[in-house]
Chain A
């Protein structure tokens, strides 16, 4: 089946620094989604990408849908303590029942 490789697995950064994480896949997706999950809660949708090459921002977050449709990245600028959490990428393929395939997550820790 499809697999998503998400990296890095964890990051420990200083408040104010920029963050970059990415996902790569062995096959193409129609949609890429980025979620943030806090402990004991469900994932919260941050950004959705629908076209190859699309670059979308949501506040300090920017994500891009790779040209090959097999990768995506998420950048967070000027990190703050509340950015702490686990970030997941997810790919969606319409002819695979619209199910989401998730990466393994990137755990972000921010030092004030």
Chain B
């Protein structure tokens, strides 16, 4: 399968713990995006990479959130000191010259 891959699919964590998610984009895509989606809403933009450079960050991305794409391939999204309001689906997408393709998402539940 050469689509966008996200790991893990599901994560349950206690409030205050740190979590890290991984995204492997489609191999020839240089653009990578992170989005967050809550129930009944459309995805909301978090951050965008072109190759290894993080070019855009949403105001939604508080200082507890950090994303990296060290070699311009896979990316990680870390949330420190998780809060219950962080519970959501975290989606990764990649694009080349055409439309953006999404992974299956990581469902985070903070208890």
A and B interact physically? yes
Which of B35, B93, B99 makes the CB contact (< 8 A) with A48? B99
Interface residues of B, dominant DSSP: strand
Q: Are the CB atoms of B45 and A42 closer together than 8 Å?
A: no
Docked Cα-Cα span, A41 to B99, in Å, equals 18
Interface residue A103 (Cβ < 8 Å from any Cβ of B): yes
Q: Are the CB atoms of A99 and B33 closer together than 8 Å?
A: yes
Which of B43, B101, B105 makes the CB contact (< 8 A) with A102? B43
What is the size category of the interface that chain B forms with chain A?
A: 20 to 34
Docked Cα-Cα span, A44 to B43, in Å, equals 13
Interface residue A78 (Cβ < 8 Å from any Cβ of B): no
**CB-CB < 8 A to B69: which residues of A?**
none
For the A-B complex, the count of residue pairs with Cβ-Cβ distances under 8 Å equals 63
Q: Are the CB atoms of B42 and A88 closer together than 8 Å?
A: yes
Docked Cα-Cα span, A42 to B105, in Å, equals 6
Interface residue B107 (Cβ < 8 Å from any Cβ of A): yes
Q: Are the CB atoms of B42 and A104 closer together than 8 Å?
A: yes
Known: A33-B99, A42-B91. A97 touches B48 (CB 8 A): yes
**CB-CB < 8 A to B22: which residues of A?**
none
Q: Are the CB atoms of A31 and B99 closer together than 8 Å?
A: yes
Q: Are the CB atoms of A97 and B55 closer together than 8 Å?
A: yes
Smallest CB–CB gap between A31 and chain B, Å? 7
Q: What residue of chain B has the Cβ atom nearest to residue A48's Cβ?
A: B99
Which of A33, A44, A100, A104 makes the CB contact (< 8 A) with B45? A100
Which of A6, A42, A90 makes the CB contact (< 8 A) with B103? A42
Smallest CB–CB gap between A37 and chain B, Å? 9
Docked Cα-Cα span, A20 to B30, in Å, equals 34
Q: Are the CB atoms of A45 and B42 closer together than 8 Å?
A: no
| Chain B residues in the interface with A (C-beta under 8 A) | 4, 6, 31, 33, 35, 40-45, 48, 50, 55-56, 58, 91, 93, 95, 98-105, 107
